[in-house]
Amino acid sequence: MNVESFNLDHRFVKAPYVRVADVKRLPHGDVLTKYDVRFCQPNREHLEMPAVHSIEHSFAEYARNHSANVVDFSPMGCQTGFYLILAGEPDVEGAIGLVSRTFRDILDAVCVPAANEVQCGWGANHSLTGAQEAVRRMLEREGEWGDVSQ
């Protein structure tokens, strides 16, 4: 299939993890690397949407304080994780460091960035507490993020 994650056998991964999901080499030589930042075990658990929404807002804002290479951070429709797109060659350790630093920023946050009706399409659908609990659980298992398979 054309979408890399559709070719991944989700029964044999072990969340949480951070892995390279795709590398695009653009016509003028630029490279984009997409990382699968998986919070939950596929088909067994998922994140609630207010937490997903708040992680997305918070990560998108705070990650850019740590790296100029952040292109995008988007939730997966299955609600088990996110895709992080960075400019540059694959660097899992660097991506893990960025994710870890950004998650710590989320733990320290007192509000969700842009969680209002002026800056967000559904400003009331947020949970800072839910986001912080999800990233706390991820950080507790940070040492396992490089191990993708069961």
> What pTM was computed for the model?
0.96
Query: What's the sign of the alpha-carbon dihedral 63, 69, 71, 76?
Result: negative
Q: How many CB atoms lie within 10 A of CB 32?
A: 17
- Domain ranges for the chain, please list them: 10-140
Would the pLDDT of 95 be above 90?
yes
Average pLDDT, integer, range 111-131: 98
pLDDT band at 19 (very low <50, low <70, confident <90, very high): very high
Mean of per-residue pLDDT scores for the chain: 97
20: left (phi over 0), alpha (psi -120 to 50) or beta: beta
Query: Is 92 exposed, middle or buried (CB count within 10 Å of its CB: 0-12, 13-18, 19+)?
Result: middle
Mean pLDDT of the 122-126 span: 97
Report the topology of domain 10-140: Gyrase A; domain 2 (3.30.1360)
Cis-peptide into 113, omega within 30 deg? no
Q: What band does 150 get if pLDDT is binned at 50, 70 and 90?
A: low
Residue 121 pLDDT > 70: yes
pLDDT of 58 > 70? The answer is yes
The pLDDT of residue 90: 98
